Amino acid sequence: MSTRTPAHPTMSPTGPSAAVSLPPVQRETTAGNYFVSNYPPFAFWKPEAVGDFHAALERAPRAGNPLGVYAHIPFCRKRCHFCYFKVYTDKDSQEIRGYLDALLAEMALFASRPFIGGRKPRFVYFGGGTPSYLSETQLRSLIGGMKRLLPWDDVEEVTFECEPGTLTDHKLETLRELGVTRLSLGIEHFDDHILEINGRAHRSKEIARAYSFARQIGFPQINIDLIAGMVEETEEKWRMAVDRTLELAPDSVTIYQMEVPYNTTIYQRMKLEGKLVAPVADWETKRRWVDEAFRRLEAAGYTVGSAYTAVKNKALTRFVYRDYLWAGADLLSIGVASFGHINGTHYQNVHDFQPYLDAVSSGKFPVYRALTPSAEERYIREFILQLKLGQVSADYFAKKFGVDPRERFAAPLRTLSEWGFLVKEADPDRIAITRAGLLQVDRLLHEFFQPEHRTGRYA
């Protein structure tokens, strides 16, 4: 899966807000997860709550709630030094085939449960690892099996994450034929030295070839990922990366800020060398680089649509997976270590390869831990995730949850305003954060957390 950005307050403000008195924070990039992708934090999901997951399976879905599917493909040519996802680089073709069979067996366990309620998926997402590591034959078998279990008649978006070096012309044609609508290229950078030193498997020539052919055969949306502040990044190299992005003119660009989670190669090296600071740019620099990239993209006609994304044509380009999830959609998630959300309950599968296969082969759901958020926690989850878009509608939340967010979140909103990160709005319905706030939104979201969720590791 694409890398994510840092969740402890490790950034300090820049620009007009620099004079505002914020709590002391570290400027350096230190170890830890930063990116907020769910709520309550994963550390609070527990094995003893797995019964909630089984109960959720047996309930009919909430009327009108969309259903999505996530499939985790954990295989890679190499493990990137900054990667903290569950991936494997040592599996042979027989083991991969067994895993894909297990994915379909797990999906079959879900398919007949009441929570499906006759729904068909509205979005499908293949993440990893490297989904494009699979062969054309493996892709046809997996996707064909998924479609037989839960038909894709109503699918609005099929996202497929790719590593450029794994994309042959035949494989791209197969993906297009199978219905992929958004090709997400994990480019991260265009400089070969940066790619090598950070453990990426592909190089710049593979980027150019894969992108050119993907554009030629007409994928509806091509997204490219960049990471600001990778190991040995420089001002000149970052400008070059943005230059190349503008030359390619993809439909959308996703930019993350480099983080160093605890279960990464970079962190292990930090421990061995006795260094407390990672060899990457500090947060001020990374935010500035992302801001510069966004400004250049805006000058080229793009629109910044979230803390991480810019789109070339706002009317045509959507992120269906993101927008449905952040509005409370059900996510049927399959695969080792994958996490989903069904009928109001969060769940995550077991973390290791063989235990996952063993559970599924015995006809059991391979769920390791779960959590059912309270009504209050569901409100917080949806509000903070949508705040990553840069603005939310107060009326939307008041109608959906019965409480006006300007009242429910009066204290944290006042804090953000005092820090200079809240836009002074003429429209009373709109709650918006400034660009400076958007560039460090994951840090600011902790202001909305309940007190018991502000401690410990996010992951």
Alpha-carbon separation of residue 227 from 114, 191, 238, 382, 393 (angstroms): 41, 12, 9, 26, 30
pLDDT tens-digit readout, 348-374: 999 999 999 999 999 999 999 999 999
Q: What is the pLDDT of residues 165-200, one digit of tens each?
A: 999 999 999 999 999 999 999 999 999 999 998 888
pLDDT (average), residues 152-161 = 98
Domain ranges of the chain: 40-324
pLDDT for the residue numbered 19: 33
Average pLDDT, the chain: 89
The pLDDT tens digits of the residues spanning 35-77 come to 889 999 999 999 999 999 999 999 999 999 999 999 999 999 8
In this prediction, residue 34 carries a pLDDT of 72
* Euclidean distance between CA atoms 27 and 335, whole angstroms: 37
Residue 20: the pLDDT is 37
Q: What is the pLDDT of residues 390-441, one digit of tens each?
A: 999 999 999 999 999 999 999 999 999 999 999 987 788 999 999 999 999 9
At 74-124, the pLDDT tens digits run 999 877 766 667 788 899 999 999 999 999 999 999 999 999 999 999 999
Separation in Å, CA 276 to CA 30, 269, 284, 300, 387:
7, 10, 18, 39, 32
pLDDT of 35 reads: 80
Question: What is the third-level CATH fold of 40-324?
Answer: pyruvate-formate lyase- activating enzyme (3.80.30)
What local confidence, expressed as pLDDT, does residue 456 receive? 52
Query: Do 126 and 107 meet the contact criterion of CB atoms below 8 Å apart?
Result: no
